[in-house]
A and B are shown apart, each in its own frame.
Chain A
Amino acid sequence: MKGILIGSLALLLAGCAAPTNTACICDVVKLNNGWCSQCGLGYVAGVTIESELLFEALDAHGHDIGPGGVQCSSCRKAMEIDGFCGRCQVGWVSKQAYFSTLTYRLAKGQAKEVSKITCPICKVNADQLGWCASCGVGMVGNVAFPTREGFEQASRPYRVFLAAVEAAKNCELCAGAMVFDGTCPVCKISYLDGKGVPLAP
């Protein structure tokens, strides 16, 4: 027990300064789209996110329904087929809600620990994006898809997401707007599929 306390204390004191500890923590966090408070970094699909605002906006995990149930009929239909409700802009996977196209599509794949991937092509793909013909597996970040369709569907919002991660270095609100096809009220830019469009109407 004391050993556990010492280990815990050592980690808390060291924070993420020690590279070995950082790697250890991040490996865990990367798998579950989590946030490392000590490092001040978040991960979605294994991609490092520096912007806390963007990370929280994505909220990349499934959300349970409250006791009142879902009133939207379109959502109820989508829940039955792991579909996406265009009206509410909510995707449903295993009766849990995902609030962006990206997180909904990623939820249909399976996060992998990259260090344990044996196929060299898949390993490279896990660094970014790619389909491995010999394995029949597509990697979107660290998320594996066994079908070409699932891979393609996740690829598009993932590319927008990568652009948003970069954009967040200059404007976090723009980054959030990119992912959700919204508008940055500061820069006065609306986004569609990650690209700026004229303000409407």
Chain B
Amino acid sequence: MKYGRRTIALGVMFVGLVGIAGPRAMAGSHSWRINEVFSNADGTIQFIELKECCGMNNEVFLSGKYVSSQATSNIFNFPGDLPCSNCTANKHLLLATSTFAALPGAPVPDYIIPAGFFAINGDTLEYWFYDTFTFGRGELPTDCVNSLHDGGSTGRNSPTNFAGETGSVDACPCPGDLDGDGGIGILDLLALLAAWGPCDGCIEDINGDGGVGILDLLALLAAWGPCP
């Protein structure tokens, strides 16, 4: 034999170690978590925000992964991998309806989902097998301003997209419709009076000055009646 067995064995081992064996670099997509969920009362304006949880920088392989709703059976399949590398640590992904995208203050969604993608009266959303986000009846705010966050807390919506653009939307057609029933009436007035005083991002703060006061009351009275 011209070439020694040992040398050939080295070649076999080389291919085995370099070309065939070993964990592959792909498959990075584990660490996205459903972080914030928002809907208006009829589900036409919705968003789902995912966040990279753990400082992993190459979680770009979204091809074949999906976000699903158990209640509606809707599934959003990611159309491909993220077009970058070493770019994901602590970033966000924003999936939203097209009506959300048209609202003032809305960051540009990374992906568009259909209206009514998830149910507002309780649902379980899942990001592939890697994360589950469950809420029961009445737990998801539908007051046009607040959203549900990972861990169950609620607060003013703060959608953020992959580019890092963030914002906040008011999904109600008329400010002052605090209960979302399509008009401004006695229940809205009572809600406003109940929230009287300083507040941080509360929906009764119609003029957004950090508190509920006479100006908010006047704005509500001026818009009394059915929403346009």
Contacts and interface: CB of A to CB of B under 8 A. Distances in A.
Given A34-B22, A71-B55, A200 B3 contact: no
Interface in A77-118: 85, 87-90, 97, 99
Interface residues of A, number: 58
B21 interface: yes
A10 B8 contact: yes
Contacts of A35: 22-24
A119 interface: no
Nearest to B23: A61
A120 interface: no
Given A6-B8, A29-B20, A32-B22, A69 B3 contact: no
Contact of A8 (B15, B89, B90, B122): B15
Contacts of A36: 20-21
A38 B20 contact: yes
Given A8-B12, A10-B8, A36-B20, A63 B26 contact: no
Interface stretch (B66-74, B106-114, B182-190, B213-221): B66-74
B198 to A, nearest CB: 28
Interface stretch (A137-145, A148-156, A176-184): A176-184
A70 B54 CA distance: 5
Interface string B36-79: 00000000000000000111111000001010101101010000
A67 to B, nearest CB: 7
Interface in A52-87: 53, 56-57, 59-61, 63, 65-72, 75, 85, 87
Given A66-B89, A68-B89, A183-B126, A200 B70 contact: yes
A87 B151 contact: yes
Contacts of A201: 71, 122-124, 134, 136-137
In this complex, which of A75, A97, A200, A201 has the most chain B Cβ atoms within 10 angstroms of its Cβ?
A201
A9 B134 CA distance: 53
A182 B128 contact: yes
A10 B27 CA distance: 30
A73 B182 CA distance: 41
A99 B130 contact: yes
B166 interface: no
B124 A183 contact: yes
Interface in B1-16: 3-4, 7-12, 14-16
Interface string A157-184: 0000000000000000000110111110
B14 A75 contact: no
Given A6-B8, A33-B23, A90 B54 contact: yes
State the 7 A-B residue pairs at the shortest beta-carbon distance, nearest first: A7-B11, A66-B57, A3-B7, A3-B3, A66-B89, A7-B8, A4-B11
30 contacts: A2-B3, A3-B11, A4-B14, A5-B11, A7-B7, A10-B12, A11-B15, A11-B16, A24-B12, A24-B16, A25-B16, A25-B20, A28-B16, A34-B23, A35-B24, A37-B19, A60-B23, A65-B55, A66-B86, A67-B57, A68-B90, A70-B55, A88-B54, A89-B131, A176-B128, A182-B128, A185-B66, A185-B73, A200-B124, A201-B123
